[in-house]
Amino acid sequence: MENPQAPQVISAADLRGRMSEETGDIILVDVRSEADHLAARIPGARHNCVFEIAFMDRMAAIAGSDVSGAVCVYGCGVETHEARMAAEKLARAGYREVLELRGGIEEWMAEGGEIEGDAPSPSAESVPEDGRWEVDLAESRVEWIGRNLLNRHHGTLGIREGHLDLRNGLPVGGEFVFDMNSIACTNLAGDPLHDVLVDHLRSHDFFDCGVFPEARFRIKESRPIGRGGVGAPNMQVEGELTIKGTTVPVVFDVVAGVTPDGCPAAQAVLEIDRTLWNVIYGSGRFFRNLGMHLVNDLVEVQLRIVANCGDRG
């Protein structure tokens, strides 16, 4: 198999020249999201979102079976990589002349290029209203992972109730109540050992749920952080976690945002040292010669919190 032809970066001016000289001879493809394409696009551009797995199948329908013609892809701008990714895919698939408008539609517009559009431009992420937001219990969840040297178990923990107090888009307060008796082990679902393990976790050995049926997390404050783009941690939350009647300060980073419906949402992954809450069963720091009964001190917790837009307090 011959080596693919490397994609060629093209400027907006050169693309405009080629389009005027070779009308109908160059296939122009907008590889952004459909919302971006509808809002503003280069005239004549076909839409094929590179983030979707059907990208290559749709490309075959757009370009036909002849891969020798010129195909030019464009995205948002020079700092985003959607056009680069699309160009590489096409080159690997054998397209002979792949052009990439690296500056994207931003360069095209900056140089006075004509655009067309028939939908409002996607707005920047909105800031949710100040006030109390109740937690959507159906959409929110807590997952846990516990390990020893060679094995691990993972499962869920139910949220009984919760709310967030927002000010200027940041949670300045809030509280979540967890139902400790709802603890379940996902990887043992349907296995007779599931109930054995869950009863063990609910017992005095671990969380003593008969005496302490609830755990609580209270938000004390939060602050924005900047360590990357969208999808990276953008907020640090400080609070207090109470388990088995013991309250311990906890600080962790979260990825926070707003759902398409305008509801505040956040996700986080953190590790907690269970022994700080007097959950010491199987801990090598408190017992000797544990053998197969050794359990790691650190428990991984994955949080997903979504506020309820239809239930404002």
Model pLDDT for residues 56-102, shown as the tens digit of each residue: 999 999 998 889 899 999 999 998 999 999 999 999 999 999 999 99
Distance of alpha carbon 66 from alpha carbon 70, whole angstroms: 10
* Residue 233: both structure tokens together: 């941690």
> Over the stretch 135-162, which tens digit does the pLDDT of each residue have?
999 999 999 999 998 899 999 999 999 9
Q: Is 125 a residue whose pLDDT tops 80?
A: no
Burial class (CB in 10 A: 0-12, 13-18, 19+), 175: middle
Burial category of 2 from C-beta neighbours within 10 Å (exposed 0-12, middle 13-18, buried 19 and up) = exposed
The Cα angle at residue 260 between residues 167 and 177, in degrees rounded to 5: 55
Mean pLDDT of all residues in the chain?
Answer: 91
The reported pLDDT for the residue numbered 1 is 42
**pLDDT at position 132, please?**
94
Residue 128: the pLDDT is: 80
Burial class (CB in 10 A: 0-12, 13-18, 19+), 3: exposed
Displacement of CA 106 from its chain's centroid (Å): 26
Q: What integer pLDDT is reported at residue 311 of this predicted model?
A: 56
Q: Does position 123 have pLDDT exceeding 60, yes or no?
A: no
Fold identical between 8-110 and 131-312?
Answer: no
| Residue with the two structure tokens 């919302």 | 35
> pLDDT at position 14, please?
93
Q: What is the largest CA-CA distance in the chain?
A: 81
CATH tag, 8-110: 3.40.250.10
Strand order in the sheet with 97-101: 8-9, 97-101, 70-74, 26-30, 46-47
Q: Is the pLDDT of residue 23 over 90?
A: no
Residue pair 170/198 in contact (Cβ under 8 Å)? The answer is: no
Angle between helices 82-92 and 55-63 (to 10 degrees): 70
Q: Where residue 313 falls among pLDDT bands split at 50, 70, 90? A: very low
Query: What backbone phi and psi angles, to 5 degrees, belong to 240?
Result: -130, 130
What are 54-59's contacts with CB under 8 Å, separation 24+? 55/31, 55/86, 55/89, 56/89, 56/93, 59/29, 59/90, 59/93
Q: Where are the domains of the chain?
A: 8-110, 131-312
CATH number of the 131-312 domain? 2.40.128.110
